Amino acid sequence: MIDILSFVLEFAASFAEAFILYDIFQILFSPQKGIKKTKMTWIIILIAVGLVQGLNAIALFSLFTILFLVLYWSISAKFLYGIDYITTLSITSFYTLIVVVFDFFIFTAFGTFSGGYDTFSTLVSNTGIERMIVVLSTKLLWVLCYLLIRKYLVKFHFNKDSRTFFIRVTIAGCIVCLILAKMTFDTFPYAINQLWFLSVCAIICFAFYHGYTVKKKMKDAELEMIELRNQMLEDSYETLNVVYAKNAKLHHDINNHLDTLYQLLDTNAVSEAKEYIERISEPVKDLNRVVWTGVDVVDAILNSKLEKAKKDDIEMTYNVEYPKHSNIQAHDICVILSNLIDNALEAVMKGQGKKEVKVTIRKINSFLTIQVSNDIFEPVKMQDGKIITTKSDTLLHGWGIQSVKAAAENYEGTVKYTYDNQQFVVTVILFY
């Protein structure tokens, strides 16, 4: 009877660990891709639990079992959620590290207060009433802790910085964990439980600190987005004022225009009448030149830059196909498009004669390509493979392309540029 209860409890404990991990993936990535828990998710969890029980039958605590779980969970998460393997591996490794450290803390605490090393050795190597009590207590605490922090995960934005953080903490944590595990199994010093407790606290502090920095960066990005949006609204307002002023004048003079047209047509001056209509309808044409993608932020940026180009007598060409549903944040696409187009407009302003800027946005399978090209009127300055700003204030300028790269990295993206004596082309690829 004890053996059956022990098996059921071990099965439930493994199931809880696996379920929480896949729930974390569900929270972090399913809103972006619209993925819901399916039968396949449950099957993968049950397979993992079954394999763990088989390995536990050989040894209740094994480094091989831990490594196997990390590989199995990370590969299956990549399959379920369609995200890159490095991301799934970083999250899975970090999660497993926390579980292992947490288990060691509870097990060593029980051993410290209930017989020392002998009790601890029994807990990690044999089934029985004591182990059942400790496993049940450990997993109930684990589930409770997860339920407390789950609401914060919903607000967490996982990006490349998060992945790097998880990898670094996991590597450092594994080194510390191996040292502490060796000390625990070899000598079981009295203070070992405090060391495991400090390890748990350190991981929690690092995790919350990273969450705080990510939230702060997102807040700063939102403020930049609001500032940029206000600027675009101001520009659009000024442009509309000019257009509506022209239309008001057209309306005011409509009788004079009609009289002029009547005189021209009455004398069979058809070509002159056409030219006259073309000339007085310019304000209406200005009002109707709209780029439409169905995405408000992209439309606002493109329209704003188009009006700016028209004021400076620059020919702006758009070829746009933007996905209506993607995980690309508004502030990131705003940073990318605004910086690239602004740089192109500033570059062509240095020349004489015809000035042209082309913007192409295309979605191909699961990635988005943004390409901005402009004519070159002076040599491109390079240093160590980086573009050097030609503006006098180098402290305030030259950060545009760096901001674009930082935004692109949030989506495993790349920024490449090519140029010759006539044209400069920047290409950004984002995975969405």
Q: Residues of the chain with pLDDT > 70: what percent?
A: 80
Q: Ramachandran region of residue 384, left (φ > 0), alpha (ψ -120 to 50) or beta?
A: left
Q: What number is the average pLDDT over the span 243-249?
A: 56
Number of Cβ within a 10 Å radius of residue 251: 10
* Average pLDDT of the residues of the chain: 79
pLDDT at 20: 92
Q: Residues of the chain with pLDDT > 90: what percent?
A: 12
pLDDT at 231: 63
Over residues 377-390, the pLDDT tens digits come to 776 666 555 565 55
**H or E stretch including 353?**
none
Number of Cβ within a 10 Å radius of residue 39: 7
Q: Residue 104: CB partners within 8 Å, gap ≥ 6? A: 177, 180, 181, 184, 196
Q: What number is the average pLDDT over the span 54-70?
A: 84
Q: What number is the average pLDDT over the span 318-325?
A: 84
pLDDT at 370: 93
pLDDT at 397: 38
Q: What number is the average pLDDT over the span 222-239?
A: 61
Is 87 buried (19+), middle (13-18) or exposed (0-12) by CB count in 10 A? buried
Q: Which residues pair with 248 in a beta bridge?
A: none
pLDDT at 19: 92
CA distance 207 to 172: 14
Query: How many Cα neighbours within 13 Å face the side chain of 427?
Result: 9
